[in-house]
Amino acid sequence: MPSRLVSLVLAATGGVVTDLGFPGTDLWGLAFVGVALLFLALGRDSARWNLLVGLVWGLAFFVPHLFWTSIVVGPAVSLALPLLEAAFVALFGAAWSWARRGAVIWRSPAFQVLGFALVWVALEEARSAAPFGGFPWGRLAFSQADSPLLRLAWLGGVPLLSGVVAAIGALLAVALLSARRVLVLRTLVSLGTVGALLAIGLLMPVGTRAEAGTLHVAAVQGNVDEHEEDPYVRQSRVVDNHAAETMTLLEQVEPGELDVVLWPENVTATDLREDERSAAVVEQAAQALGAPILLGTIEYPSTSTRFNTTVLWEPGTGITQTYRKQRPAPFSEYIPMRELARRVTPLVDNVSHDMIAGSEPGLVTVTSDALGREVPIAVGICFEVAYDWVVRDGVRAGGELLVIQTNNSTFGYSDESLQQLAMSRVRAVETGRTTIQISTVGVSALIAPHGAVSNLTELWTADSFVARVPLRTSITPAVRFGQQLVWAVSALGGLVVASGAAGAWRMRAASRGRMLA
């Protein structure tokens, strides 16, 4: 049992170390170490104390991990989101204190590791769903894009991958505690289990071959003029930049050779049905390539609301299909409790039109003359890549390729783009689909179904690539049973906490009875 001061030092160090395991530094093994330090920091029995320990770990992790939010709303306001996410880690600290009071977990290191992982994933799922639809950024799974564990996403998606990371962290802590007590066998078994889990990841049967032919695609990162101070002028030039970069593709392909050209999110901040100038620019590019363009735009259904929309623009026809973002980001794309939020900061009024959610899965179809059929493409917009159900629903609806369109220009040279790319890599393995992340300013990339990256672009550059991507139709276990896994883990996590708390209550009641006798 560490002293209170040591507990807080371990927690703060663990949060910082865990963040170093994420993209930016990419030291994925440090995620295990950071979780191990949290396990050790929570060594005291008091749930109220461990609530504080969890909060310290959470702040030490989320403040640097979400630093890029300060670019948008300023340092003071940006602390609100890390504080909210850290509160869930605080709840985890209290929940784990209750869970391990059960006799089964308390007496068995193996059950401690399993219980720790279950409760962790249950709390990750909770913060991914609430409040305001949740914010899944910073889940442990997203630190493992370069790890041997990545292939586990094929089997159980993000919940399984996060659970294994939490379990490895707990195993390392158990090994350290056992070594201090010179329990050689327990130490070796703990470390051996870590090695076995890492090795199992490499054995997952992740397929990469084409199951339904290939699609000839181009992805265009047109860039944004970061030196233009007027935001309206800067935004109006984005569509021109993407059209200009698209025209360079004619150096690689002939007109009519491509099946589809992919542009990112928010190429226009106007409704293409009303903005004749931008529509003419898109039409000219589509005509020149002889291919449809999938691009991001905005729709304004009323004077106070908007949709973040992906449209398929067919040359000579215009918009033929739309997908409306299902998961707008609170306090960024829309303002919950606007009157209350305005009392905190007037910056909320910069969001003059609240974004509303679409209701249909992310799916568009393109016609491939070479294949002689319609090819369904699963689509996610920006932060939707962090939400399991959005990506899963698009693939279950028939998507044979996954496209993540994003606009990272707001976040400068921060780690946000790399964090998002890691999520796309996890989604590629989870869904068994070739995935293309295409951004206005980078990073953009082509991701194989086993997570390997090619055609990686630099930040704040105009770039593009052409590829023949394999189309896949098989459904991975993670996609088929993903929601059931979430329910099962959440239920088991809750059961572990409840049984531990009930066991401790019975022990206290029995103790009081003996004292009265």
Question: pLDDT by residue (tens digit) across 184-225?
Answer: 999 999 999 999 999 998 888 899 999 999 999 999 999 999
Chain segment 184-193, per-residue pLDDT in tens: 999 999 999 9
Given CA atoms 161, 166, 167, 168 in this order, what sign does their dihedral have? positive
Question: Are 165 and 110 within one domain?
Answer: yes
pLDDT of residue 514: 46
Q: Look up 325 and say whether it is catalytic.
A: yes
Question: Are 197 and 318 within one domain?
Answer: no
Question: Are 92 and 228 within one domain?
Answer: no
Please give the model's pTM, rounded to 2 decimal places: 0.94
For 132, the domain range is 4-207+481-516
In a domain, 189, yes or no: yes
pLDDT mean over 373-391: 97
Question: Of 125, 283, 299, 382, which is the active-site residue?
Answer: 382
Residue among 444, 438, 433 at smallest CA distance from 402: 433
Question: Of 124, 125, 265, 283, which is the active-site residue?
Answer: 265
pLDDT of residue 158: 98
pLDDT band at 422 (very low <50, low <70, confident <90, very high): very high
In a domain, 309, yes or no: yes
Q: Residue 298 carries which DSSP code?
A: E
Question: Are 420 and 288 within one domain?
Answer: yes
pLDDT of residue 42: 97
Chain segment 30-66, per-residue pLDDT in tens: 999 999 999 999 999 899 999 999 999 999 999 999 9
Joined tokens for residue 159: 């919940």
Assess whether pLDDT exceeds 50 at residue 517.
no
Joined tokens for residue 211: 């199951």
Element (H, E) at 231: helix 231-247
Q: Which residues pair with 477 in a beta bridge?
A: none
Question: Are 218 and 93 within one domain?
Answer: no
Q: Which residues pair with 319 in a beta bridge?
A: 313
Question: Are 298 and 221 within one domain?
Answer: yes
217-235 burial code (b ≥16 CB/10 A, e <16): bbbbbbbbbeeeeeeeeeb
In a domain, 116, yes or no: yes
Question: Are 293 and 418 within one domain?
Answer: yes
Question: Are 178 and 254 within one domain?
Answer: no
Calpha distance 402→448 (Å, rounded): 10
In a domain, 71, yes or no: yes
In a domain, 476, yes or no: no
Question: Are 373 and 492 within one domain?
Answer: no
Assess whether pLDDT exceeds 90 at residue 105.
no
Question: Are 346 and 375 within one domain?
Answer: yes
Residue among 33, 29, 1 at smallest CA distance from 14: 33
Question: Of 124, 245, 299, 325, which is the active-site residue?
Answer: 325
In a domain, 413, yes or no: yes
* CATH code of the domain covering residue 376: 3.60.110.10
pLDDT band at 149 (very low <50, low <70, confident <90, very high): very high
Question: Are 334 and 402 within one domain?
Answer: yes
pLDDT of residue 505: 66
Please tell me whether residue 285 adopts helix, strand or coil conformation.
Answer: helix
Calpha distance 423→428 (Å, rounded): 9
> Between β-strands 260-262 and 293-299, what pairing exists: parallel, antiparallel or unpaired?
parallel
- Provide the domain count of the chain: 2
Residue among 502, 456, 461, 476 at smallest CA distance from 158: 476
Q: Look up 265 and say whether it is catalytic.
A: yes
Question: Are 221 and 186 within one domain?
Answer: no
Residue among 412, 443, 423, 442 at smallest CA distance from 70: 412
